[in-house]
Structure 1
Amino acid sequence: MRHSDFQKLTDEVFGPAYGRVLVREQVLPKLGNRTAEEAMTAGFEPRDVWHALCDALDVPEPERWGADQHRQAPPSSAR
């Protein structure tokens, strides 16, 4: 997953405004209590950040992929 894919999914799944707030403010315990923004700046893979964000917000697996039913990131190594 690329950073652009992460942003697109954030917009699709959470909405553009709320998604950006989550990326900046939602603390992700699985990533050392960093926000998504901090984790990616620290070098975490976008797919790992995406899975951690969805896990923290209890987003069901089928709802994690936005409008494209065939889009899926490989499993996260941070799980």
Structure 2
Amino acid sequence: MRHTEFWERMDHALGQASARSWASLTVIAGLGGRTVQEALDAGVAPKEVWAEVHGFLGLPATLR
């Protein structure tokens, strides 16, 4: 998964107006206690970050 696809999924799940701010503010334990943005900036693969976001938000399997 590329970063562009990751952000498209984030926009779809949270809304385009909220996705980036949510990613900068929300700490997820599965990302090492980092925010989504911090994990991406640290080089964690977007696919791995999306899996954590997906689980954290309890999104349906169709959005996996």
Task: Give the number of aligned pairs.
Answer: 64
Match of 1:30 in 2: 30
- Equivalent residue runs for 1:1-79 within 5 Å: 1-62=1-62, 64=63
After TM superposition, which residue ranges in structure 1, 4 or more long, deviate above 3 angstroms?
Answer: none
Sequence identity of aligned pairs in percent?
34
Aligned mates of 1:22, 1:53 — CA distance in 2: 11
Aligned mates of 1:57, 1:41 — CA distance in 2: 21
1:3-47 CA-to-partner distances (Å, cap 9, x unmatched) read 011111111121111211221111111110111100011110001
Aligned mates of 2:15, 2:6 — CA distance in 1: 13
Q: Name the larger-Rg structure.
A: 1
Comparing both structures, which one devotes a greater share of its residues to helix?
2
**Where does structure 2 lack aligned partners over 5 or more consecutive residues?**
none
Q: TM-score, normalised by structure 2?
A: 0.88
